[in-house]
Structure 1
C-alpha cells in the first residue's frame, strides 16, 4: 500500500521551503503538527503583534501564505494536496489540515517551488520600466484561482492610496507602544525572526507613498528617482478567518508567480492594521465590494541593487510537532 502521508524527511524538506513564506514583521506566527489525519497548521498567537495587528488578521493572512508555500513544496516533492479549512470549531487556532496523496510533480510544480528559494521582500525603489500586461493578468489569475480578488491601483489613483498610508504612518509615529513593538521585531539583533537591519531601507522621501519603516535601517537603496512600483490590493468578499487564509494563499501565489516572471515584490500592510485607514482603502479603491487583506508592490529592481540577504527563519524543530 502506498503512503498517503509524507514521512518525517519529506515533511522537514517541505517545511524548509514553506517557512520562507512572508509574514507580518517576519514573526512566522505558525505551528505545524504531523498527524494521521494530515499535516495540520495552527496559529501561534503567542507571536501576535498586539499593537500592529490587534485583530489577528495579519497573523492569519501570514498563515495563509505559509499554507500555500507548504502545498507548493509538497507538490514539488510528489504530494498533491487538498485543504480542510478551520476544521475544528472548538479550536480557532487550528487553521487548516492538509491531506495528501502521491502524484508525480509537474514542471510547473518544480518551477513554483524553485521560486520560493528566489523570492525576497524588496523594500527598495523600483525602476520606471513597464510591466507587460500579460504579466499582470497572470498575477490576477493566480489570485482569483484562490478565491480572492486583486485590483491594480491605476497611476491616477495612487494619490488616493497615499492618503490612508500617510494617515497610518502619522498615527504610528506618535504611538509609543507601536514604536516599542517595531523596535522589538526589527533591527541589528534579529537572528531567527523579525526584520534585520540589512533588509530594511531608510524611510521614503516626503511626497512618496510611504512604506513601513523598521528599526536601524541599513539596506542601501541605489534608486535616484521616485518609486515606480505598481500597487496591487488583494481583497476578499468576506472578512472571516477562512477568507483571510485564502487571501494569504492568494498573496503567496501572486508573489511566487511574480518571482518566476523576474519581478521584485514587497508586501505592504501598515494601513490595514489601522481601522480608519483600512476603511479608506476599502471604500476609495475597492468601492466597498471587498475587504483589503494585503497590498503588494511589484516592479523591476534596479540593476545597481545589491542581492538581498535571506531573512532569518525559526528552526524546524521549534515549529513542528510530530
Structure 2
C-alpha cells in the first residue's frame, strides 16, 4: 500500500486473522484484493455449496464475519477501518471496500483480536451452569451496534427452534445433493477447508438439537448429560444482501465477545436454509418483527472438556487476488 498506510506485513497479519472467520461447511468463500489505498472483499461464487446454500445466504453471512474479523485485527494493529458496503452496484459479489486510518488500539481491541485465534465452533454438549444475564446483555449490545438483534429463545421459542432443526435434518437426510455435498466437505484428515473428522461429533437419537451429519465424526463427545446450551437468534430488520452482510459482522462480534468471556459457541443455520422453516422462525420466534439470519448455541463447556484442534484455513496467498482496478484503489 501507499506510504502512510499499513505496510504489507501488517496487511498480511490482519488478513491471516480475517480468514479465521467461521463459514458454512468451512468453505471460506472470500476473496481479497489489496489496492493502493484500500482493501476489497469479494464473495467467491465458485465456492457455493449449492445443495446447502443455493441463494448464497450463508456465504454472505460468512463473508460478513470475515469482514468484522478484519476490522478487529486492524484495530489491534493500530488502524481503524472505514467500510463501504456493497460499493459497486454492478458487481453484487463486491461486498466491501475498506479504507484505513490511524487508530490508537484499546485494551478491548487487543482482547478481541487475540480471541480470533482461540474461537472455535464447538459442537459438543454444554454444561448446566447458567450464563449471567450481564454476559448475554453484552453480546446483545455489541450485535446492536452492527445493526442486528439478538433474541434469547425462551421455552416455547426454543421448542420451535428444536422442531425446525429436526425437520431440516430429516429433509436434508432425504436430499441426495445435500448429503453428497456434506460428505464432500467433511471427514478429511488433511485439507485446508471443510470440517475435519476430529472436529465433528456423532449425532445421537436422544439429542435435543439435531446437528449436521458430517462424515466420519470423531466421537459422540463423551457427554451423557443433556445439552444445556442457550439458543440465541440473530436477526435483522430486512433480508437483502446488505442485511446479511451486516448480520455476518454482528455474528462475528457475538462469537468473539462470547469467546472472550469464556463461553463455548456453535453457529447453526440449517433450519434457516429452508424458506418455510425460516418463515416459521420469523413468525413464531420473532413475532414477525425481524428476519432470522442465524441461530447460536452458547454455553459453558464441562471442566473436563479437552481443547479441540483448530479447523484448517486456506493461506492468505490462496485467497488474495491481484488488484486490477486502479480507480477503485
Provide TM-score, normalisation by structure 2.
0.95
1:64-79 alignment to 2 at 5 Å?
64-79=64-79
Tell me whether 252-261 or 300-309 shows the greater mean CA deviation: 300-309
1:82 corresponds to which residue? 82
1:301 corresponds to which residue? 301
2:197 corresponds to which residue? 197
**Offset of 1:120 from its aligned partner?**
0.7
Quick one: distance in 2 between partners of 1:228 and 1:236? 26
2:116 corresponds to which residue? 116
Instruction: Please give the per-residue CA displacement for 1:40-97, whole angstroms capped at 9, x wherever unaligned.
Output: 0000110001010000010000000000000000011110111000000111110001
**Offset of 1:251 from its aligned partner?**
0.3
2:327 corresponds to which residue? none
1:212-251 alignment to 2 at 5 Å?
212-251=212-251
1:185 corresponds to which residue? 185
Structure 2 unaligned segments of length 5 or more: list them: 323-329
Quick one: distance in 1 between partners of 2:9 and 2:77? 11
Quick one: distance in 1 between partners of 2:272 and 2:143? 19
2:326 corresponds to which residue? none
**Offset of 1:4 from its aligned partner?**
4.7
**Offset of 1:15 from its aligned partner?**
0.9
Change (3 A) 1:190 1:178: farther
**Offset of 1:150 from its aligned partner?**
1.1
Quick one: distance in 1 between partners of 2:207 and 2:90? 48
**Offset of 1:7 from its aligned partner?**
2.0
1:207-286 alignment to 2 at 5 Å?
208-286=208-286
**Offset of 1:219 from its aligned partner?**
4.0
Partner of 1:168: helix, strand, or coil?
helix
Provide TM-score, normalisation by structure 1.
0.97
**Offset of 1:321 from its aligned partner?**
2.3
1:106 corresponds to which residue? 106
Structure 1 unaligned segments of length 5 or more: list them: none
Instruction: Please give the per-residue CA displacement for 1:151-197, whole angstroms capped at 9, x wherever unaligned.
Output: 00013432111111111011001111110000110013451000001
**Offset of 1:143 from its aligned partner?**
0.8
The reply on whether 1:27 has 2:27 as its aligned counterpart is yes
2:325 corresponds to which residue? none
Quick one: distance in 2 between partners of 1:89 and 1:134? 40
Partner of 2:250: helix, strand, or coil?
helix
Quick one: distance in 2 between partners of 1:255 and 1:76? 17
Partner of 1:63: helix, strand, or coil?
helix
Partner of 1:16: helix, strand, or coil?
helix
The alignment yields a C-alpha RMSD, in angstroms, of 1.3
Partner of 2:129: helix, strand, or coil?
coil
Quick one: distance in 2 between partners of 1:136 and 1:170? 31
